[in-house]
Structure 1
């Protein structure tokens, strides 16, 4: 199985990228590819830009990567209760190629933040809207208080309850 994982964040030190990487590596017998959405940066989407640029190469490449995967893991950073501008822009451009952005792939949706909310607001939004874009969401998990529950040195969750929850979710992919 080929698992594609990424953080819906453009931070170079993204805790969500750390979480997505950890989760992807829990999937047994999987070939894992970790994306960095910085590699798909484009001008801010607008209909005027779309008329001028068409479908940018970066959006086409991202859509192709999604299509090549058997399963997708996304970990969402939360900016003011919503998606990061970087992810939303990439998603907007990609959805203009095909509204079925996620191409019926099995998905695990995650989110984390340093605080106790665990970016649950954006995760709820993402999980609720994903089926409209042909996502087969198998599970969604919010990891609260990232630095209290994740060992950055080892790159692993430390909270046994959250570890079990995440392992169970990865078996659904």
Structure 2
């Protein structure tokens, strides 16, 4: 099984990248690829840019990575209650290739933040919009207060209730 995991963030210290990587590592016998959105940096999307220069090759590479995956895990960072500009831009360019960006791939959508909200606003937006972009969301999970519930040095969740919720989400993803 090919698992594609990434944070919807371009932060080099992304707690969402840590969470996505951890979740992907829990899938047994999987070939896991962790994407870095920094590898897909493009000019800010505009129809004028698209008309002048076409769709950047980074968008096609991102689309191809999604198409090659059997399962996708995304952990969303929240900026002012919404998607990060980095993720939104990659998504916007990629959707110009095909509105069915996620190509009916089974997905686990997650989010975390340092605070008690657990980035639930952006996670809700992602889950609610997913069907419009051919995302087969099997489960979603918010992890509040990241640094209270995740051991950064060990690279794992420390809260047994959240760990159990993640295990349940991964079981749904496997079905």
**In the alignment, what sits opposite 1:75?**
75
Contact 1:109–1:123, Cα closer than 8 Å, also in 2? yes
**In the alignment, what sits opposite 1:90?**
90
Contact 1:109–1:137, Cα closer than 8 Å, also in 2? yes
Please list every run of at least 4 consecutive aligned residues from structure 1 whose deviation after the TM superposition is greater than 6 angstroms: none
Q: Distance in 1 between matches of 2:53 and 2:154?
A: 43
* Offset at residue 96 of structure 1 (A): 0.3
Q: Distance in 1 between matches of 2:93 and 2:5?
A: 19
What do the CA deviations read for 1:116-140 (whole angstroms, capped 9, x no partner)? Answer: 0000000000010011100000001
CA RMSD of aligned residues (A): 0.5
**In the alignment, what sits opposite 2:155?**
155
**In the alignment, what sits opposite 1:38?**
38
**In the alignment, what sits opposite 1:137?**
137
Q: Distance in 1 between matches of 2:34 and 2:18?
A: 10
Q: TM-score, normalised by structure 1?
A: 0.99
Contact 1:103–1:134, Cα closer than 8 Å, also in 2? yes
Tell me, what secondary structure is at the counterpart of 1:137? strand
What do the CA deviations read for 1:46-104 (whole angstroms, capped 9, x no partner)? Answer: 00000112111000000000000000000000000000000000000000000000000
Q: Distance in 1 between matches of 2:151 and 2:73?
A: 20
Tell me, what secondary structure is at the counterpart of 1:55? coil
Tell me, what secondary structure is at the counterpart of 1:172? helix
Q: Distance in 1 between matches of 2:82 and 2:40?
A: 20
**In the alignment, what sits opposite 1:172?**
172
Q: Distance in 2 between matches of 1:143 and 1:34?
A: 19
* Offset at residue 149 of structure 1 (A): 0.1
**In the alignment, what sits opposite 2:18?**
18
Structure 2 spans left out of the alignment, 5+ residues:
none
Count matched residues: 173
* Offset at residue 44 of structure 1 (A): 0.2
